[in-house]
Amino acid sequence: MASEWDRILAGGMLGQSDEVAQDRIRGQALLRQLNSIPAGDEAQRQALCRELFGHCPDSCWISTPFTCEFGRNIHIGEKTFFNFNVTILDVNEVHIGSHVLLAPNVQIYTATHSLDYRSRRRWESFGKPVHIGDDCWIGGGVIICPGVSIGPRSVIGAGAVVTRDIPADSLAVGNPARVIRQLTAQDPRDERLFQVE
């Protein structure tokens, strides 16, 4: 029999079932603990990340403060780095690849609402998954909207609002974000791309 989360992750309405309510309470309690750990206590930080997230290898670093809703729907690859003040609303799944750099104040949203005000009056919401491929660099203050996929090795310039999928090996900037060129192995290693890390 399908669980409440199976229904939600398949695109169903976010309900207020006991399962969802308890997962939110659990996630917020673990998040509070994570945000209170001293930076030097790596073992405790890693243990809490393993408990909070759906998947988070010990090779990752999650700078605090960090904010999420549930934690359980966030899946992170190897050697990925979150800088300060990253926010992830994980009503649906967020898959972040390996060797990804998230700069300060990156916001990743899976939660969305109806355009019909009557639905919003009832606080109805649902989620669309977000995928970020391996080796991406997401610049400071970037907002990634529900349902977006960013291909491997892409760079998103600081302050961009990503409303549509970004292909692999792309440099995208602006609001809404648009691809301004493809990245190649010949790009200079020290090129400045208007990023904040």
Closest by CA position to 31, among listed 16, 12, 15, 52:
52
- The single residue of 55, 95, 113, 131 carrying the catalytic annotation is 113
Evaluated on CA atoms 172, 178, 182, 186, the torsion sign reads negative
Active site residue 113: yes
Say which residues have a Cβ less than 8 Å from residue 139's Cβ, sequence separation at least 6. Answer: 103, 106, 155, 156, 157, 158, 159, 160, 193, 194, 195, 196
Catalytic center residues: 113
